[in-house]
Amino acid sequence: MGRQYLLLFALLAACTRGPDDDLQYIKQARSIAAEWALVNEQANAGRVNVTYVTAMHGWLRDGLLAASSSLSEPKSDYGAEISALLALPSDAAPATLRSHSESLKLIEDALESA
C-alpha cells in the first residue's frame, strides 16, 4: 500500500509546473517587449511603413498571448508583467515597453540564478 502512495506522489511531483517551467515564456515575453519597443521607436521616427508596423503589432501581440496562456502561474509577478504588456495600446511608448522588458529580465535572471 505504501508503495502505491509513493508512486502516486512521484507522478504528481512530475506533473507539477512552476516558475522554472515558465522561464521560457518569460524570456519570450521579454524579447517581444523589447522588439515591440524597437518597432514603435522606428515607427515614431518614420523609418518603417504603416503596413509593417501593423503586421508586427499583430505578430507581437499573438506571441504575448501565447506566452501568457502557457504560464503555469499566471497570477505571478511575471504573469502580471505580461498582462500589463497585453493591456498596452499598440502604439505604446518605447520607454514603457522597455520598462516591462527590464522587469521581466530581472525576474528571468533571478530564476536562472536560483
Residue keyed to cell 521560457: 24
Q: Which pLDDT score is estimated for 114?
A: 86
Q: Is residue 86 part of a domain?
A: yes
Q: Is residue 67 part of a domain?
A: yes
Q: Is residue 32 part of a domain?
A: yes
Q: Is residue 44 part of a domain?
A: yes
Q: Is residue 7 part of a domain?
A: no
> Greater confidence, 9 or 22?
22
pTM recorded for the entire structure: 0.84
33 vs 105: CA distance, rounded Å: 11
Q: Cell digits for 75?
A: 497570477
Question: Largest alpha-carbon pair distance within the chain?
Answer: 70
Q: Which pLDDT score is estimated for 15?
A: 45
Rounded to an integer, the average pLDDT of 46-70 is 98
Domain of 104 in residue numbering reads as 17-113
The tens digit of pLDDT for each residue in 44-56 reads 999 999 999 999 9
Q: Is residue 11 part of a domain?
A: no
Q: Three-state SS for 40?
A: helix
| Residue 12 in this model has a pLDDT that exceeds 60 | no
Q: Is residue 8 part of a domain?
A: no
**Of the given ranges (18-22, 58-62, 89-93, 94-98), which has the lowest mean pLDDT?**
18-22
∠ CA 97-43-30 to the nearest 5 degrees?
25
Q: Is residue 6 part of a domain?
A: no
| Count: domains in the chain | 1
The tens digit of pLDDT for each residue in 84-105 reads 999 999 999 999 999 999 999 9
Q: Which pLDDT score is estimated for 7?
A: 42
The H or E element spanning position 104 is helix 94-113
